[in-house]
Amino acid sequence: MADPAMTLTPDPPRAGLSPGLRGALWMLLSAVTFTAMTTLIKFLGKDYPAPLQAFYRQAAGLIVLAPWILRHPVRAFATTRPGILIFRAGAGTVGLMLQFYAFQKIPLAEANALSFTRTLWLVPLAAFMLREKMGPNRIGAAVAGFAGVLIMLHPGGKDGGIGAPQLCMLASSLLFAFTVTGMKALTRDHPPSTLLYWSAALGVVFALPLALFTWRWPTPGDLGLLCLMGVIATVNQACYIKGMQAADAAAMAPIDYTRLVFSAAAGFFLFGEVPQGLTLIGAGVVIASTLYITWREHELVERARRLGQQDPIISG
């Protein structure tokens, strides 16, 4: 899935569909492809552990990007801060493995809802790592969002919902939040393509050792599905970026949450999963909190731009 905090310039107006409608369609397609990818992750999870699936996912992404990398390989990986890029790629690869494990083990709707906590983790990380000032509004929204997580998992309840898969998804969201925070720092003097190339190449390197521990040669049919999963993941990223480019990012971000609806439907019809009431209530709190944080940051950035600030300090 693409990083939500990537700075994108909206496409210029075109004849035909309005930018808002065009962006909404791309975002809906992104939600559908994400659901298709996670469905394949769960379907193949019995025979192919998360590290092996993550390796195939990273390898497919590198193969897709290889034509652009090979045109100018030195320029593609040019950087003045390799340490941050290596850390970001490592965190992203481990986060991907943990995410795949969670999708394999818990209902798709619950796993998707927990994945949205990435936005909540960004609040404290931006304060500590980027020195952004956080006001009571965003701090309160983050606290409310984590309260929603507790509602979803209802620890201590009859069906105590905190287990290894849930903790893995929360840890995955935290690691992905680190990658977004690193991206915010790096894009000040690096093009987004450089970050993408480093992540793709190092993702294969970091995923391979753990994949070898769980290695098994896939059947031709399974190999096709594993490759399809990687291709769908790449298409998902492209759809997400196109949606964010087509119209205002703050208006497009809420549409991404439709993947919770699609994942719940896929889980019900394909795997017999029925979301619990507390899961839906907690997911609603998490989504409301992350939407508010996204909207608040957009408003503060727009205000800073109107005031002529090039690198605003967000404090709302």
Tens of pLDDT, residue by residue over 86-95, are: 999 999 999 9
Confidence of residue 154 (pLDDT cuts 50, 70, 90): confident
d(CA 65, CA 67): 6
Q: What is the pLDDT of residue 309?
A: 57
What mean pLDDT value characterizes the chain? 85
Following DSSP, what letter does each residue of the chain receive, concatenated?
---TT---PPPPP-SSS-HHHHHHHHHHHHHHHHHHHHHHHHHHTTTS-HHHHHHHHHHHHHHHHHHHHHHSHHHHT--S-HHHHHHHHHHHHHHHHHHHHHHHHS-HHHHHHHHTTHHHHHHHHHHHHS-----HHHHHHHHHHHHHHHHHH-TTSTT----HHHHHHHHHHHHHHHHHHHHHHHTTTS-HHHHHHHHHHHHHHHHHHHHHHT--PPPHHHHHHHHHHHHHHHHHHHHHHHHHHHS-HHHHGGGGGHHHHHHHHHHHHHH-----HHHHHHHHHHHHHHHHHHHHHHHHHHHHHHTT-SS-----
CA distances from 258 to 192, 234, 238 (A): 26, 19, 17
Condensed to tens digits (0 to 9), the pLDDT of residues 28-73 reads 999 999 999 999 999 999 899 999 999 998 998 899 889 999 999 9
Here the tokens at position 197 are 């190339």
pTM here is: 0.84
* Mean pLDDT of the region 13-28: 78
d(CA 100, CA 50): 5
- Whether the pLDDT of residue 17 is over 70: the answer is yes
Q: How far is CA 307 from the centre of its chain?
A: 31
Condensed to tens digits (0 to 9), the pLDDT of residues 157-194 reads 555 568 899 999 999 999 998 988 887 778 778 887 88
Q: How far is CA 173 from the centre of its chain?
A: 8
d(CA 247, CA 264): 27
